[in-house]
Amino acid sequence: MVKIGKSEVSTTSLGLGTNAVGGYNLFTGLKDEDGINIVKQALDSGITMLDTAFAYGMGHSEELIGQAIQGYDRSKFVIATKAAQDVKNGKVEINNSPEFLKQSVDEALERLQTDYIDIFYIHFPDDHTPKNEAVAALNELKKAGKIKAIGVSNFSLDQIKEANQDGLVDVVEDQYSLIHREAEQELFPYLRENNVSFVPFFPLASGLLTGKYTKELSFPEGDMRSKNPDFKGERFNQIIDKVNEVSKIAKKNDVSTAQLVLAWYMKNPDITVVIPGAKKPEQVASNAKALNITISDADYQEIDKKFKNL
């Protein structure tokens, strides 16, 4: 188990990202029943962190999780959710005001059908709210027992420093993976120094790090990946080459490529919890096996080196 920042929240180092649980605005063809079963599979497989957000289906992901957790011991798992999207007259504005954040927590508690939220993140920074004031509002909710840990997501390093002026931020969630390692330069040293946990999103890089893609792959025009630079040209080919090399290490260890990559994150001292998403319960069950993988120092360093200057 790992501890979240300076809070009392503890969880497994592998969680579940739930943007495909009710995130009908992000993915096509999602079914509520599948989403509920994905959450149950995670809890049944020993995963104890569920990471969601209002933005995943504009509250629908939280509603499905609220349904899925009924019958489970609430003290045995952790729910992390996020808010910043203020919907007015059909338009979405980013809002970090204390009033909005307090309202968002109360509404999330209702959708999740729970008495408390373990980790609450400000999902995106707005342009006008002083970040330390936004965090101070969340600290009031922490004292009231509505949330247990305070997080920020998609914040720049300067914004994180502003938010953490009073040492109240427990966790930062931001993009990081073997192919996106910018956080190692300045963010990780700051987080280490200030006892702030880190949770990377897109750890499997939209499936690129699972070993399921080949160089011959192409995406239809409407697919999000068709516009992603990681899936284009020479960079795509270089990533595939590196992943194929990692797949050989995985085969040697009798594990899948995705499981080995997840084990790499869990061994990384700068990462607290890794939260891969899933569209099927079987993917969750497979990912959960990474909890039992011990990656050797030699393999860890070899994988690290392969992706270092990509």
121 is catalytic: no
Report the distance separating Cα 186 and Cα 272, nearest Å.
17
DSSP bridge partners of 172: 152, 198
Side-chain-side CA neighbours of 55 within 13 Å: the count stands at 19
Q: Residues 278, 19: contact at Cβ < 8 Å?
A: no
Amino acid at 72: Y
Q: Residues 117, 144: contact at Cβ < 8 Å?
A: no
Backbone CA torsion sign across 238, 13, 109, 152: negative
Catalytic residue among 24, 56, 176, 300: 56
Q: Which residues are catalytic?
A: 56
